A and B are shown apart, each in its own frame.
Chain A
Amino acid sequence: MPFMEFVNFYLMPGIVLGSIYALGAVGITLVFGILRFAHLAHGDLATLGAFAALGVVTIFGVSPWVALPAAMVFCAFMAIGIDKLFYDYLSERPKIIVVMSSLGIALMLRAIVQVVWGVDTETYTRGIVRPDDYWGIRIRDREIYTIIAMFVIVGVLWAFLQKTKWGKAMRAMSDNPDLALLSGVDNRKITMLTWGIVGMLCAASGFFLGINTELKPLMGWTMLLPMFAAAILGGVGRVEGAVIGGLIVGIAEETSVLFIPGEYKAAMAFAILLLILLVRPTGLLKGKVL
């Protein structure tokens, strides 16, 4: 197979899909690292974000790119609200109870999407976009924006975590919650902040999946496994690890078609997850193991 064909049909779609997974995986790794549980409603929160953006597009008739920030803010408040209404009351109980609660939240969020927007497949814009040719690499504008946006969003988050007082407090909570508490970090504010950031990341990943493919009520749920595989592959609690993990899982899924039947593309994430748990549970960048 010619090299350019591999790049155009397998590698580039893999990088685009990987960027979408990366955005979700960063959120998962934050919840896993700071709040210490597996958030199973992550995918469906992404679905809600994608449909919220669709709502803005249809009501105000604006471009989807304008709707993205609105959807991110909306999901940030949704995530904080869900935490305040449901997860917060379970914080004294074993963490696995919160995992169970999040499974219920996943179903509730999906039900909301299905009631409000119905079960049909939707798109942000109609019509087919042809890819442009850049020195032999065929890529669509929206695909370029997806990759750039992922790096910008994660870059901003990374700078926030490294440089600001609040970011440092979040990392302190992730490293050692008791010590962070003793040093005067306000647990509740950090939890709220984390959920806000996670909600924004969810909305972004859902939006970019929606703009590159279609919007379906189950779109987020099917992303859940790849996102978790990416977060664990990169190392739980490691933001840059989640990006690397996301890209690897995305590329692995798209190139897997060369070796296994296309129906089993979705199985790649699962295979990666089991393999990394078997070989190196701390992930590539030495994250936490809960």
Chain B
Amino acid sequence: MELIGLLNYAVFMAIFIGIYSLLALGLNIQWGFSGLFNAGIAGFFAVGAYTSALLTAPESSVHLGGFQLPVVAGWIGAMIAAGLIAWPIGKVCLRFRSDYLAIATIGVAEIIRLVVKSEGWMTGGARGVNKIPRPFGDLTYLYSQLAYLALVVAIVFVVYLAIERQISAPWGRMMRGIRDNEDAATAMGKDIKARRLEAFIFGAAVMGLGGALFAHFNRSITPEAIDPMIATFLIWIMLILGGSGNNRGALLGVAVVWIIWSASEFVTDQLPTEYAIKAKYMRVFIIGLLLQLVLRFRPEGILPEPQGTADRPEVKTLQNQESAAK
């Protein structure tokens, strides 16, 4: 019995790691390869989750719906919707330094939260969308979980391969070129704005897919499903710790941070109630501190970006000093 419980928990954790992996891979396209700062990951996640949920859920009196499309259509819809949200934002903000994109994406996540909360006719308001179909949902609990895990792993694998291929293609080299030296890339006639926009939309679509997988896994989605800031921040620390610019690093970071995060929850749950609530916030504090430490002592992450000698920050500083000395 105990063993079954443990297995269930492990499978549950693994599915979450898979879903967070998609978010981290999406962020890696935006930040790791293109240097775009997206502080509104939770927003794109929510758009994907709600789009897929509404496209596939049965008819209901509390929210828009009754389309009952196949799940695959929901996922594709989720990716398109997240990409469509990213397009105007990128269009306006990518002309400037990434600081502006950071502020604007915080705004986007906030607006999406507002829309989800107040447009009850569409999203069901606080009650959210329920009875979302789940692939292999008819099997018994454990088999259903295992089947869903296999599905998530397969999707993560496909997305991983797609990104790896795209990044080693000329497009990927160009993106890194733009990230590392904008002036040189412009001089070579690259359309920087258009390329960045592509990367931003591509990344957002992958995040939307992550949201869709979450909604179908949970079978329901409500505005309280995730805390926007903490979810966004967790993805960031996962990517930075794992190694931005390296997809395998991103996946490793997700696993490491998610296990630390869940294990610390396990510990704080043992505390008496009055401390448990405070301990919850201490966890957030520690994860914030972890980011500061990684940024300061190991900015390239556990698995640094491959092949690069020239694009590592400390090398760049060194080069700057050299050129200054000349």
Known: A100-B295, A270-B110, A273-B104. A107 touches B285 (CB 8 A): yes
Known: A100-B295, A107-B285, A277-B100. A40 touches B313 (CB 8 A): no
Contact string against B for A residues 242-276, beta-carbon threshold 8 Å, 1 for contact and 0 otherwise: 00000000000000000001011011011001100
- Which residues from A are CB-within-8-Å of B288? 104-105, 107-108, 111
CB of A221 within 8 A of chain B?
yes
Beta-carbon contact of A103 and B39 below 8 Å: yes
- Which residues from B are CB-within-8-Å of A212? none
CB of A228 within 8 A of chain B?
yes
CB of A215 within 8 A of chain B?
no
Beta-carbon contact of A273 and B285 below 8 Å: no
- Which residues from A are CB-within-8-Å of B295? 90, 97, 100-101, 104
- Which residues from B are CB-within-8-Å of A232? 100
Stretch at the interface among B8-16, B91-99, B162-170, B245-253: B91-99
CB of B307 within 8 A of chain A?
no
Beta-carbon contact of A100 and B114 below 8 Å: no
- Which residues from A are CB-within-8-Å of B277? 118-119
CA distance A92 to B299 in the complex (A): 13
Beta-carbon contact of A101 and B291 below 8 Å: yes
CA distance A278 to B89 in the complex (A): 10
- Which residues from B are CB-within-8-Å of A93? 299, 313, 317
Can you name the residue of chain B whose Cβ is closest to the Cβ of A262? Answer: B118
CB of A38 within 8 A of chain B?
yes
> Closest Cβ of chain A: how far from B251's Cβ, in Å?
20
Q: Which of A201-254 contact B (CB under 8 A)?
A: 221-222, 224-225, 228, 232
Beta-carbon contact of B284 and A107 below 8 Å: yes
CB of A138 within 8 A of chain B?
no
- Which residues from B are CB-within-8-Å of A37? 99
Beta-carbon contact of B287 and A99 below 8 Å: no
CB of B326 within 8 A of chain A?
no
Can you name the residue of chain B whose Cβ is closest to the Cβ of A32? Answer: B99
CB of A289 within 8 A of chain B?
yes
Can you name the residue of chain B whose Cβ is closest to the Cβ of A290? Answer: B97
CA distance A190 to B285 in the complex (A): 29
Contact string against A for B residues 235-251, beta-carbon threshold 8 Å, 1 for contact and 0 otherwise: 01100100000000000
Beta-carbon contact of A225 and B110 below 8 Å: yes
Can you name the residue of chain B whose Cβ is closest to the Cβ of A261? Answer: B118
Q: Which of A94-126 contact B (CB under 8 A)?
A: 94-97, 99-101, 103-105, 107-108, 110-112, 114-115, 118-119
CB of A6 within 8 A of chain B?
no
CB of A145 within 8 A of chain B?
no
Can you name the residue of chain A whose Cβ is closest to the Cβ of B295? Answer: A101
Beta-carbon contact of A224 and B106 below 8 Å: yes
CA distance A105 to B285 in the complex (A): 9
Beta-carbon contact of A107 and B287 below 8 Å: yes
Q: Which of B101-115 contact A (CB under 8 A)?
A: 102-104, 106-108, 110-111, 114
Can you name the residue of chain A whose Cβ is closest to the Cβ of B98? Answer: A96
- Which residues from B are CB-within-8-Å of A221? 229
Pick the residue among A92, A101, A105, A281 that contacts B96 (CB under 8 A): A281
Beta-carbon contact of A277 and B118 below 8 Å: no
Can you name the residue of chain A whose Cβ is closest to the Cβ of B285? Answer: A111
CB of B133 within 8 A of chain A?
no
Beta-carbon contact of A104 and B292 below 8 Å: yes
CB of B310 within 8 A of chain A?
no
CB of A86 within 8 A of chain B?
yes
Beta-carbon contact of B99 and A99 below 8 Å: yes
Beta-carbon contact of B106 and A99 below 8 Å: no
> Closest Cβ of chain A: how far from B198's Cβ, in Å?
20
Beta-carbon contact of B106 and A225 below 8 Å: yes
CA distance A266 to B109 in the complex (A): 12
CB of A3 within 8 A of chain B?
no
Can you name the residue of chain A whose Cβ is closest to the Cβ of B229? Answer: A107
Beta-carbon contact of A94 and B284 below 8 Å: no
> Closest Cβ of chain B: how far from A258's Cβ, in Å?
17
- Which residues from A are CB-within-8-Å of B104? 270, 273-274, 277
> Closest Cβ of chain A: how far from B181's Cβ, in Å?
12
Contact string against B for A residues 21-38, beta-carbon threshold 8 Å, 1 for contact and 0 otherwise: 000000000001000011
Pick the residue among A100, A110, A112, A261 that contacts B240 (CB under 8 A): A100
CB of A134 within 8 A of chain B?
no
- Which residues from B are CB-within-8-Å of A264? 114, 118
Pick the residue among B93, B103, B291 that contacts A104 (CB under 8 A): B291
Can you name the residue of chain A whose Cβ is closest to the Cβ of B280? Answer: A114
- Which residues from B are CB-within-8-Å of A94? 313
Of the A-B pairs whose beta carbons lie under 8 Å apart in the complex, a sample of 24, sorted by A's number, is A32-B99, A92-B317, A93-B317, A97-B299, A99-B98, A100-B295, A101-B291, A103-B102, A105-B292, A107-B229, A107-B288, A108-B288, A108-B289, A111-B288, A114-B278, A114-B281, A115-B281, A224-B106, A228-B103, A266-B110, A267-B110, A270-B108, A273-B104, A278-B92
Nearest 9 pairs of A and B residues by beta carbon: A38-B99, A111-B285, A108-B288, A263-B118, A270-B107, A104-B291, A114-B281, A107-B288, A104-B288
With A90-B296, A111-B281, A228-B103 known, 17 other A-B pairs at CB within 8 A are: A40-B106, A92-B317, A93-B313, A96-B102, A103-B102, A107-B287, A108-B288, A111-B282, A111-B288, A264-B118, A267-B110, A267-B114, A270-B111, A273-B107, A274-B92, A289-B96, A290-B99
